[in-house]
């Protein structure tokens, strides 16, 4: 008995020693080895980052500042700091000596704290004692170039790799490309004489100003300078022929164009009390004859209505209602094989136009963003006549998918052939490269980003991918595609598509019944007016038997249709509840039971083979 105890005790001791040895050896030999089993490889450097790192010519120094003592009580922040440090170590390993990482603890009143402040990193107070927390990154190159990430915000972890890769690419660039910006609206910020304050630039403009030299091109320009590689047009309203000809020649000589035009630019503020029709015309923008020369056209005086993509807004009495002209497009509406939007998840539009290819065009028309099948054109003036409830009345989807953004490429001719011949300009090209979007409100802050104050600094928190689309487009047209593959990893949200489809189908049925009710109401009122005209003046305050019968019939009909609407809603709730119950049963009971049965079966098979052996 004692001998068995000795052997068993010795075995346990040996097992413990072997376990400790295994941990020590694995930590020593495999400390940098990770197995990433997440669906989108969230913890693996993306191919775009590999390309950026591999292109480094001269060594880059990383200085990662994190206040260890000041963060002692901030467990979540310390965990995120470990995530950031490990990611920076991945960059250092991949760079094979071209990135040198230094981890610095800027203790109070130390040289390291002075160094962090000298780089311009942001310190955050963490307690009443006045302790300051640094959590940022500074990068330098061999030519005294310097870039920083002032503070790593935990709520922006999904953009962590992109921010670091952008810093690396910026330090590795000798000269930044120049992007031209032409707009009839103030998008770069200006001094507002009414409020006597400086109006901030649109966030999308601030994004590209971090990566490119942005040069304003006036709407009266007669030529686009040769050093501009990409020309961005935002609401090019009312351009004269000289400016259009300059854009025409820029495109023909190989310049890249990203154009945002709009049938109704809601951000183009108009004077109160203006004539609605005049206001609509003044809020529209196009490119005159250029679009036809490039093989596309914008449907005139038309905006897109889409019942499936409509976003919910406040309606009459504060009740939520879906607005057919304010749209949220998801991945089903995006061209998955295009590098600009392949992995973006949500784009928001307002009063967007419809782009169509010309029948006899020589250019290649490649759709990038399109509507759902529950869409139809709306007349622009309908937006001025009422709220979202009025837009829904009589709305009938055509079953067609309408294009709202497209690439135009290939062979194209000048829109001004006679002038090109007279002025020795270019008459055609085989390398047209234009990206066309039929909305400008799409770029405004209100549709995709919330700007808030973060310890005295304005921080943009996006709730849609509009800014990413804009930056991707400019980067791609300027020739930089590596960062796109980093950013387009997305937000990794997983919406309940089946539940959303159930809601769409029920709402479509509900809307059809509501429209039927409105049609019957209008028909009954018309009959009442006809009967009223046939009556004598003496009986004007009395109801004829025909009117009484008509009113009774209408009231009965209205009650019946209202009951149908309640049944639709009730069935919708039942379908969603049944789906939820099914998912809970599958996750909580069915899958665990199946896994247990599989394990028991495997154990019995293994046990049977052991007995046979």
Residue 355 CA to residue 365 CA, distance in Å, equals 10
Distances (CA, A) of 387 to 75, 295, 513: 49, 35, 19
Please report how many Cα atoms fall inside a 13 Å half-sphere around the Cα of residue 598, on the Cβ side: 6
For the stretch 249-261, pLDDT in tens is 999 999 999 999 9
For the stretch 304-327, pLDDT in tens is 999 999 999 887 767 788 999 999
CA 5 to chain centre: 67
Distances (CA, A) of 42 to 89, 94, 95, 461, 485: 16, 17, 20, 20, 13
116-120, 231-235, 544-548 — which one is most confidently predicted on average?
A: 231-235
Asked whether residue 517 carries a pLDDT value surpassing 60, the answer given is no
Residue 377 CA to residue 374 CA, distance in Å, equals 11
Residue 147 CA to residue 85 CA, distance in Å, equals 18
Q: What is the mean pLDDT of residues 177-185?
A: 94
DSSP 24-72: HHHHHHSTT-----STT-TTS--HHHHHHHHT--S-EEEEEEE-TTTTT
Residue 340 CA to residue 471 CA, distance in Å, equals 9
Return mean pLDDT, the chain.
81
DSSP 269-313: ---TT--HHHHHHHT-B--TTHHHHTTEEEPTTEEEEETTTEEEE
Q: For residue 599, what pLDDT is reported? A: 80
What CATH architecture applies to the domain 50-171?
3-Layer(aba) Sandwich (3.40)
Comparing 62 with 41, the larger pLDDT belongs to 62
- The answer to whether the CB of 506 falls within 8 A of the CB of 572 is yes
Q: What is the mean pLDDT of residues 126-130?
A: 75
| pLDDT tier for residue 169 given thresholds of 50, 70 and 90 | confident
For the chain, which residues make up each domain, given as ranges?
50-171, 177-191+198-495, 498-533+544-612
- The answer to whether the CB of 180 falls within 8 A of the CB of 223 is no
Q: For residue 181, what pLDDT is reported? A: 97
Q: For residue 490, what pLDDT is reported? A: 46
Indicate the pTM of the whole model: 0.62
Residue 82 CA to residue 71 CA, distance in Å, equals 12
Of 49-58, 61-70, 335-344, 573-582, the one with minimum mean pLDDT is 573-582
Q: For residue 447, what pLDDT is reported? A: 93
Please report how many Cα atoms fall inside a 13 Å half-sphere around the Cα of residue 586, on the Cβ side: 6
Length of the chain, please? 613
Of 37-41, 111-115, 603-607, the one with minimum mean pLDDT is 37-41
| pLDDT tier for residue 576 given thresholds of 50, 70 and 90 | low
- The answer to whether the CB of 107 falls within 8 A of the CB of 184 is no
Asked whether residue 422 carries a pLDDT value surpassing 70, the answer given is yes
- Rounded CA Rg of the chain: 32
For the stretch 526-565, pLDDT in tens is 665 665 555 444 454 455 676 667 666 766 666 676 666 6
Q: For residue 462, what pLDDT is reported? A: 87
Residue 168 CA to residue 94 CA, distance in Å, equals 13
Residue 204 CA to residue 528 CA, distance in Å, equals 56
For the stretch 367-393, pLDDT in tens is 999 999 999 999 988 887 778 888 888
What is the CATH number assigned to the segment(s) 177-191+198-495? 3.40.50
């Amino acid at each position: 008995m004692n001998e068995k105890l000795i052997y068993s005790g010795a075995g346990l001791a040996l097992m413990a020693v072997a376990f400790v040895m295994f941990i020590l050896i694995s930590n020593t030999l495999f400390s940098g080895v990770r197995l990433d089993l997440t669906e989108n490889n969230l913890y693996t450097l993306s191919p775009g980052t590999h390309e950026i790192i591999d292109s480094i010519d001269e060594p880059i120094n990383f200085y990662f500042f994190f206040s260890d003592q000041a963060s002692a009580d901030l467990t979540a922040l310390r965990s995120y700091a470990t995530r950031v440090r490990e990611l920076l170590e991945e960059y250092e390993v991949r760079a094979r000596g071209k990135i040198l990482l230094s981890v610095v603890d800027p203790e109070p009143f130390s040289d390291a704290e002075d160094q962090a402040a000298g780089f311009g990193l942001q310190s955050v107070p963490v307690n009443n004692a006045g302790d300051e927390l640094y959590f940022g990154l500074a990068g330098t190159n061999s030519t005294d170039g310097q870039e920083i990430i002032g503070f790593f915000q935990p709520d922006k972890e999904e953009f962590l790799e992109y921010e670091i890769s952008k810093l690396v690419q910026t330090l590795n660039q000798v000269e930044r490309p120049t992007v031209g910006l032409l707009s009839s609206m103030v998008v770069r910020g200006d001094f507002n004489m009414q409020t006597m304050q400086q109006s901030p630039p649109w966030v999308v403009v601030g994004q590209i100003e971090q990566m490119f030299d942005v040069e304003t091109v006036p709407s009266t320009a007669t030529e686009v300078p040769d050093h501009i590689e990409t020309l961005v047009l935002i609401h090019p309203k009312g351009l004269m022929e000289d400016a259009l000809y300059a854009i025409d020649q820029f495109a023909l000589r190989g310049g890249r164009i990203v154009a945002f035009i709009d049938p109704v630019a809601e951000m183009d503020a108009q004077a109160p009390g203006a004539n609605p029709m005049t206001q609509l015309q003044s809020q529209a923008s196009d490119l005159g004859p250029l679009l036809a020369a490039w093989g596309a056209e914008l449907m005139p005086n038309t905006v897109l209505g889409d019942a499936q993509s409509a976003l919910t807004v406040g309606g009459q009495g504060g009740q939520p209602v879906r607005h057919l002209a304010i749209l949220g497009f998801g991945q089903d509406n995006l061209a998955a094989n295009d590098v600009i939007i392949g992995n973006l998840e949500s784009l928001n539009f307002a009063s967007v136009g419809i782009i169509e290819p010309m029948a006899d065009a020589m250019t290649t028309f490649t759709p990038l963003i399109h509507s759902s099948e529950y869409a139809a054109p709306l007349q622009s003036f309908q937006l001025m006549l009422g709220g979202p409830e009025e837009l829904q009345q009589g709305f009938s989807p055509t079953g067609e998918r309408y294009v709202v953004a497209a690439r135009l490429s290939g062979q194209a001719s000048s829109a001004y052939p006679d002038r090109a011949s007279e002025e020795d300009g270019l008459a055609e090209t085989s390398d047209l490269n234009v990206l066309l979007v039929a909305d400008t409100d799409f770029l405004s802050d209100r549709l995709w980003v919330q700007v808030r104050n973060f310890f005295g600094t304005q921080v943009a928190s996006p709730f849609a991918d509009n800014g990413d689309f804009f930056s991707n487009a400019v980067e791609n047209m300027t020739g930089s595609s590596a960062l796109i593959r980093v950013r387009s990893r997305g937000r990794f949200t997983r919406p309940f598509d089946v539940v959303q489809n159930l809601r769409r189908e029920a709402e479509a049925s509900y809307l059809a019944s509501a429209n039927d009710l409105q049609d019957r109401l209008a028909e009954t009122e018309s009959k009442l007016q006809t009967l009223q005209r046939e009556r004598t003046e003496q009986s004007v305050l009395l109801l004829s038997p025909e009117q009484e019968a008509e009113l009774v019939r209408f009231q009965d009909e209205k009650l019946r249709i209202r009951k149908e609407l309640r049944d639709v809603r009730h069935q919708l709730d039942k379908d969603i509840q049944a789906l939820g119950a099914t998912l809970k049963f599958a996750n909580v009971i069915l899958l665990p039971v199946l896994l247990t049965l599989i394990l028991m079966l495997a154990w019995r098979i293994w046990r049977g083979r052991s007995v046979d052996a």
